[in-house]
Copies of this chain bind each other. A is one copy, B any other.
Amino acid sequence: MSKPTSPWSVAGDRVRQRELKRDAVILAAARAFRERGFHNTSLDDIAAVLHVTKPTLYYYVLNKEQMLFECFREGLNRIVRACGEARDASSSGRERLVELVCRYVEAITSDFGWCMVRAEDQDLSPAMSARIKRLKSEIDQEMRSLIRQGIADGSIGACDPKMTTFALAGALNWIAHWYRDDASLSAAQIAERFVELFVNGLAPRPDGVISGKST
């Protein structure tokens, strides 16, 4: 203690503090946006939640647009990461897809779920909007790829990968619309039922013919 750690660690501590505070700003923004929408949220609102004033926010963030961008990115990055994990995990294409669905539901029910799917990228500058579109496209392509793999290895029946991805991603993204009002199920439970539905479909299966993975 008397011999203090290197001045750099102290400096590093400062830097760390800044990062933590910055994260807090982004999180507060995400929650406020989810609550009231992007345009109905003033920076004063966000500042108030943090017991701070508006100029303080500008010390951590460039402007309101950047806040939205960071919220977008934080949410989408989780799914991109999940894509990576799903890619090497498990065996069959379908099992990888199921894995991804579970992670997806977790992400979408998080604080950043709203921004991820309900915020309009029209509220971002063209440059930022393009970056978000790239992330979304990456996720889209990954899902299509898993479906194609599943078709190839026989774990998924013949289907149009693009439309199937649109349908699946739509069902998942839409969770952000109802999850707050109706949070009666956990993320895992939602994922489970979605998987059941998408794997087996609505049609009644004749007894004894179980083409899904038997649990």
How many copies of the polypeptide does the oligomer hold? 2
Q: Given the complex of chains A and B, what is the CA–CA distance between A206 and B160 in angstroms?
A: 18
| A1 interface hit (Cβ, 8 Å) | no
- What are 24 A-B pairs with beta-carbon distances under 8 A? A36-B122, A37-B120, A37-B123, A39-B123, A150-B202, A157-B200, A157-B202, A158-B204, A159-B193, A163-B185, A163-B190, A163-B194, A163-B197, A164-B202, A166-B175, A167-B193, A167-B197, A170-B170, A170-B173, A170-B177, A200-B201, A200-B203, A203-B212, A205-B211
Q: What DSSP secondary structure best describes chain A's contact surface?
A: helix
Q: Given the complex of chains A and B, what is the CA–CA distance between A196 and B97 in angstroms?
A: 19
B190 touches A157 (CB 8 A): no
Q: Do A202 and B199 contact each other (CB < 8 Å), given the known contacts A37-B120, A37-B123?
A: yes
7 A-B pairs closest in CB distance: A170-B174, A201-B201, A157-B204, A39-B39, A170-B171, A167-B171, A203-B211
B204 touches A155 (CB 8 A): yes
A residues bordering B, Cβ < 8 Å?
36-40, 94, 97, 118, 120, 122-123, 147, 150, 154-160, 163-164, 166-175, 177-178, 185, 190, 193-194, 196-206, 209, 211-212
